[in-house]
Structure 1
Amino acid sequence: MTDPITPLVRAVAAAEPRVENRDGAAVGTLQAYLVDKRSGQADFAVLSLGGFLGMGRSFYPVPFGLLDYDAVRDVYVVALDRKQLEGGPSWANTPPAFDAGYVARVASYYGLAKGSTAG
């Protein structure tokens, strides 16, 4: 049984920093953070991929521990390629309920222990 309380809240990024893979290829932008209501820590980053002028974008939650921030270039670097991201949990229009079941599904896809967000 999953926890009926939604443990995460979505916080939209004030600016949408770029996200690249380790080879420097553009992946998308960081659109939002999924923040644990109790700890106040960002557990997941929501990456926005694709689209044109805000249309046709898809959103992919990624455990925050899989991102590194490059302060010199002001970009996030993700240790995944675009194909891996596109195969993961996502949504296009309406975000899902960020309940314990969804958290476990995302963590499982990225090979993390149930409920873990560390990379």
Structure 2
Amino acid sequence: MNYEEHDSYGMYKAASGASTGPDSSHGPGPHLMGADTLIGNTVGNQNSETLGDIKEIMIDMRSGCVSYAVLSFGGFMGMGEKLFAVPWEALKLDTENKCFKLDIDKEQLENAPGFDKNRWPNMADPSWAASIHAYYGTKPIH
């Protein structure tokens, strides 16, 4: 799935008279996007492999910044899937393919710190956050 397919308000539709794509000079687009339209978006890597999809977006309520995208990987129809909190800074929006890119291969993701959907980590714990950012080679922006 991609953000255009989740767009129930039509915010990514082309402006009247434009041939295709969003009118980036007005309203939402690659620089400002609706959170609900990002849930379910595919995440791939530099090798064009699909890594999973975004299940949730975690917002730091103190700063108002997006901290993590919760990525689902593995399993079948929700069974046996593993969840990963990926720092928002590690994801890059690929507007051409309408997906997110994460610079990691499948094996690295399989070995990444993850969690079960019924046992979420304490994402407010600074030591947990530091370990996640260290794994993905990012630094918090807030």
Q: Same fold (TM over 0.5)?
A: yes
Per-residue CA shift, 1:50-107, capped at 9, x if unaligned? 1111111101111111111112322111111111122121101311111222111211
- The gaps in structure 1 that reach 5 residues or longer are 1-10
Name the residue aligned to 1:103.
129
Q: Equivalent residues in 2 for 1:1-119 (5 A)? A: 15-92=39-116, 93-98=118-123, 99-112=125-138, 116-117=139-140
Q: Which has the higher contact order (CA 8 A, sep 6+)?
A: 1
* 1:27 to 1:55, Cα distance in 2 relative to 1, 3 A: same
Choose 1 or 2 for highest CA Rg: 2
Q: Does structure 2 retain, via aligned residues, the 8 Å contact 1:44–1:61? A: yes
Q: Does structure 1 retain, via aligned residues, the 8 Å contact 2:71–2:84? A: yes
Structure 2 residue identity aligned to 1:18: T
Q: Percent identity?
A: 32
CA distance, structure 1, for counterparts of residue 91 and residue 45 of structure 2: 9
Task: State the SS of the aligned residue for 1:60.
Answer: strand
* 1:103 to 1:83, Cα distance in 2 relative to 1, 3 A: same
* 1:14 to 1:20, Cα distance in 2 relative to 1, 3 A: closer
Name the residue aligned to 1:8.
none
TM-score under structure 1 normalisation?
0.77
The runs of at least 4 consecutive aligned structure 1 residues that moved more than 6 Å come to 11-14
TM-score under structure 2 normalisation?
0.65
Question: Which of the two has greater strand per residue?
Answer: 1
CA distance, structure 2, for counterparts of residue 26 and residue 17 of structure 1: 11
Structure 1 residue identity aligned to 2:71: L
